Structure formats: structure tokens, C-alpha cells
Structure 1
Amino acid sequence: MKIATWNVNSLRARADRVESWLDRSDVDVLAIQETKCRDENFPWELFERRGYEVAHFGFSQWNGVAIASRVGLTNVERTFIGQPAFGKNGVDAVQEARALAATVGEGADALRLWSLYVPNGRALDDEHMVYKLQWLDALKDRVAEQLTADPELRIALTGDWNIAPQDEDVWDIQHFLDEGLTHVSAPERAAFHAFETAGFQDVVRPWTPGPGTYTYWDYKQLRFPKKQGMRIDFILASPALAGTVTGAWIDREERKGKGASDHAPVVVELGSEPAAGGTTAPAGT
């Protein structure tokens, strides 16, 4: 099975590119973030004519998450237990469309997949940062509880995490530190690493190591041609699922050209049996 995650930054605006990429990549399951549409104007036919079932969760022109699967799609869950709501200055707090789960695949190959659009903290002293950290902590508690109850669960946490957990995950860490920017702060990184402590593994990095391996390049200041990106899109897997990974890559080519999203798709290939030695790392690493 081939699964992928992609922040498309407006699905309707990039429908042609998503169609072309699905045909070219031949993925079985695609987790999508920033659909930026409601259910009533979601382009269902784009996926259905290619044999994908789709679940979508979106309220407005902001946020929005979806899962498209051609290997089954059941037990859809919008938001997670304990997911915080957000309201400016604590007023009129609402549950944002940032988390969607479904069971994909069949039989022994079935897995529980989350499409996640983690809140952007905006600034280190912004109330969105408090919300972001609370949101991540609540999600961690939820999936950690599930994994503790059944260590053999096959779970994939996929999406735009809005965190660069290592210094090499940004084009210039000193720039971020000097400017006091988000995504690299100690609390954000601690929140990300808490998932690893809970047992989840980044199953893409072992196959795409090294500095300069990014998933996001801002539209501003020609970040992409200057190779000034960030690695902020991840697929974290429970141990039972991580052991079946046979390959992973970042489709940097999809960031090129007119009308591209500012994020690149991230893809993981899964085998039916645990990899030799139960490792996600490619041979020789």
C-alpha cells in the first residue's frame, strides 16, 4: 500500500495539479490538508472518477482536511477526543477542521490514518501558540492511550505539523533563532518529540536524510529557487506499522511550476509483512 500526505493550500485552486499527481503517483491513500472548502463545494468527483472514496471535514475557506482512499474507507472520525477549540481572546471558541481519521485498507493491511493540520503558533507570545501546544498535547494523549491499550495497533499520523523538529529542518536555524520565529522553539519541538516518546516513529526521515531535505517553501522572497525551505510535513507511525515501511520520499518536483502548492507531497510505501529486522531505515544506513 502507498500512502501520502499533502497540504494542497486550496484544493479547488489546485484541482488540476492534484488530478495529475494522483495519476502519476498511483497512491492508494492521500491525506490532504488545507482544502479550504466546505463539504458542499468539495470536488468529490475529482477523486471518485479515479476510484477513491473520500471523507472531508471543512467549515469555510480556512483549514479543512480530507482522506481519499481506493482501498476502503470506514469508521470516519472528525476531530479527536479532547481536541481544544479556539476563539480569539477566548470568545466564541469553536472546533476547527484540523483533524480527520479513517480506517483504510482491509484485513491485516488495515490501518488507522489521521490527516492532521496542526495549528500555526503565529508568534511565540501569541495565543495561537498556547492553542497549538494544547492541541498537540491532547492529540498525543489520545493516540498514546490507544497505543498503550494495544501496542499492535497500526496508526499513521500524517500531515502538516507546522514544526521543524531538528535544526537541519530549516534553511538557516540562526535566522529563525535571531528573529524569534515559530516552528523551531523548544516548546514546539518538545511537543513533537512527545509523540516519539509515546512510541511513534518518523518513517520518512530515514529514507530522506540530511539538511536541505524540505517539504515546504514559502511563496515569499523566492524561497523555493533559493532552496530556503523547511521540513514540517511528516508521517509518524506506530511500531507495528513502522516495521512494514519499505520506502519513503518527498516529491519535490510537485513544488515546481505554475500554480504549485507551497508544500510538496510526502509518500510512504508499506509492505504486507514487517521489514527485515523491524527497521524503517533503508539498507546501508
Structure 2
Amino acid sequence: MTLRLVTWNIKTGGSGGRLDAVVALLTRERPDIVALQELRDFQRHDHQRMREVAGTLGMTAVLAPSAFGQPVAVLVRPPLTITHRSAVRWRLHHAAAAVTVPTPAGPLTVVSTHLNPFRPYRRLREAYWLAHRYRAPLTLITGDLNSLDPQTGHSERLSRLPDLYRRRHLARDGGPDTRAIAAFQTAGFTDLWRTAGEGDGLTVPTSKGGGHEFSNAGMRLDYLLARPALAARATRARVIRGDEAEWASDHYPLAVTLDL
């Protein structure tokens, strides 16, 4: 069984006419599972907008509203079935939506989340909590983690950011803050870009979708983090570029193929 997953921060719910472009790209890509972040207003009127998007895509959605930020969701395409679902708001600036689906390799758990964009220490706490909450063998934690990875040099890119936004990515010693991704790795998660990625992996900013907080730095803030048993089954990870991906959001969608 080959399963394709796409994760995407669609920027404030695809407002300003961008949601149609988001749906068009996902319709063309036709992933089996989609993790979405920044779903502003998707929870209103009994999740009406979420239900409309899921219906258009022919998928089943699990939406997690947020107490302080914006909702996130996981969408699953039949014939996959959801055997367990959860929506987590506490301990997180935004939220986390999690589903478990049966596969020939065993139950697969996918978590869509969006870590704190403003404070590195709170982002670290969120990462630590999620990494220890979701520990089943076939687990993928994905989304906009607003974090820098420990294996990359970031000083030159960060120097291009305005002071206000650079501070979001600095540790107390003034160096790049990579603790959130390091916490996932210490807990046993593998960064799939390191094992199956193509190209530079940069997910922000898009060429026409805004993203002034990223300036012209080019950053990798969206991740696919898998437990070892699942990481061994990742065959291809790529950033989706071109067409609607250039303007539908300030983040590019990120896709992975899993051999299950």
C-alpha cells in the first residue's frame, strides 16, 4: 500500500479568494491524507467551511479548534477509515488534530499541529509535550512547527530578517534556536527531509503569497517527523511548487510518500 500525505499552512483560512486555489491544488494532487493549519473560521457555524472543503475533496475531516490561535485539521480519503480521532487545544498556542487509520503495516497515527510562532521557549514546551504524547510506532507529527532544525546553519539566513521577526528564532545566547526540533529528535522522531527529501526543502516564503515576516531569507518551517518504524517507510518527500502553490499561501505545501 502506497500512501501520500500533504501538509500545508494555508494562511488565515485561505481568505481573500485563496481557498479555491488551495482546494484546486489538493484536488489535483489527490493525497490520501491532508494535514492543514491556519484554518481561520473553519469552526464557525458547526464547522461549515471545514465540511464544505472536505466534501469537495471527497475526504473525512477531523478539526481541532484553538483556544488562542487558529484551528488545524487532518483529512482522510476513503477507503481509509478513522479508528481514533482527537482534538487537542490545551498546552498549545494553536491546536493539534490527530487521527489513527488502519494500514497493512499497522495503525498509522497522523498529527497535524502548528507550534507557537512567537516564543521559542513555549515552542519547545509544545514540542516536548507532543513528542511524548504521541509515541506509537507508526506516528507522523507534521505541520508548521515554526522551528529551525539543529543540523543546518541558520545565522546567515536569520541576519536577513527584520529584528522583530528574527527574535522569534533566537535562543537566549543570541544564536539560532533549534530546541523544538531537537526535542522531537531526542524523543526518537526522524526528520523525513533528512532521509527522503528532494531539493532545498525551503517552505517559506512563497513567490507571490506574501510572508513579510520571512523577508527574503527562505526558511524550512514545515516538517514531517516520524517514529523510526515509519521513517523507514518514507520513500519521497518534496515541497510542492508552481501554479497555485506560489500564491495560495505564504507557505508551500509539503508532501511525502509512504510505503505501507
Normalised to the residue count of structure 2, the TM-score between the two structures is: 0.80
Counterpart position of 1:73: 82
- Using the TM superposition, give the Cα deviation of residue 140 of structure 1 relative to its aligned residue in structure 2, in angstroms: 2.5
- Counterpart of 1:268 (choices 241, 256, 260) is 256
Counterpart position of 1:102: 99
- Counterpart of 2:157 (choices 172, 182, 186) is 172
SS of aligned partner of 1:68: strand
- Counterpart of 1:213 (choices 164, 189, 201) is 201
Q: Where in structure 1 do 4 or more consecutive aligned residues deviate above 3 Å?
A: 59-62, 166-171, 173-180, 184-188, 205-210, 220-224
d(CA) in 2 for partners of 1:106, 1:208: 23
Say whether residues 1:189 and 2:175 are aligned partners.
no
SS of aligned partner of 1:43: helix
SS of aligned partner of 2:257: strand
Say whether residues 1:119 and 2:116 are aligned partners.
yes
**Cα pair 1:39 1:59 within 8 Å, conserved:** no
Over 3 Å counting, the alpha-carbon distance change for 1:271 and 1:193 in structure 2 is same
| Superimposed CA distance per residue, residues 244-265 of structure 1 (whole angstroms, 9 cap, x where no aligned partner) | 11111101224424xx200011
Q: Which runs of 5+ in 2 are unaligned?
A: none
d(CA) in 1 for partners of 2:186, 2:114: 21
Counterpart position of 2:246: 256
**Cα pair 1:133 1:187 within 8 Å, conserved:** no
Higher relative contact order (CA 8 A, sep 6+): 2
**Cα pair 2:14 2:249 within 8 Å, conserved:** no
| Superimposed CA distance per residue, residues 224-283 of structure 1 (whole angstroms, 9 cap, x where no aligned partner) | 8x5x321000000011111111111101224424xx2000110000112xxxxxxxxxxx
Counterpart position of 1:22: 26
SS of aligned partner of 1:181: helix
Q: What amino acid is the match of 1:233?
A: D
Q: Which runs of 5+ in 1 are unaligned?
A: 86-95, 122-127, 148-152, 273-285
Matched residue pairs, number? Answer: 242
- Using the TM superposition, give the Cα deviation of residue 58 of structure 1 relative to its aligned residue in structure 2, in angstroms: 2.0
SS of aligned partner of 2:169: coil
Say whether residues 1:163 and 2:163 are aligned partners.
no
Q: What amino acid is the match of 1:140?
A: A
**Cα pair 2:50 2:61 within 8 Å, conserved:** no
d(CA) in 2 for partners of 1:119, 1:199: 21
SS of aligned partner of 1:204: helix
Alignment RMSD (CA, Å): 3.0
- Using the TM superposition, give the Cα deviation of residue 192 of structure 1 relative to its aligned residue in structure 2, in angstroms: 1.4
Over 3 Å counting, the alpha-carbon distance change for 1:39 and 1:237 in structure 2 is farther
- Using the TM superposition, give the Cα deviation of residue 26 of structure 1 relative to its aligned residue in structure 2, in angstroms: 1.5
| Superimposed CA distance per residue, residues 21-47 of structure 1 (whole angstroms, 9 cap, x where no aligned partner) | 122112100000000122524231222
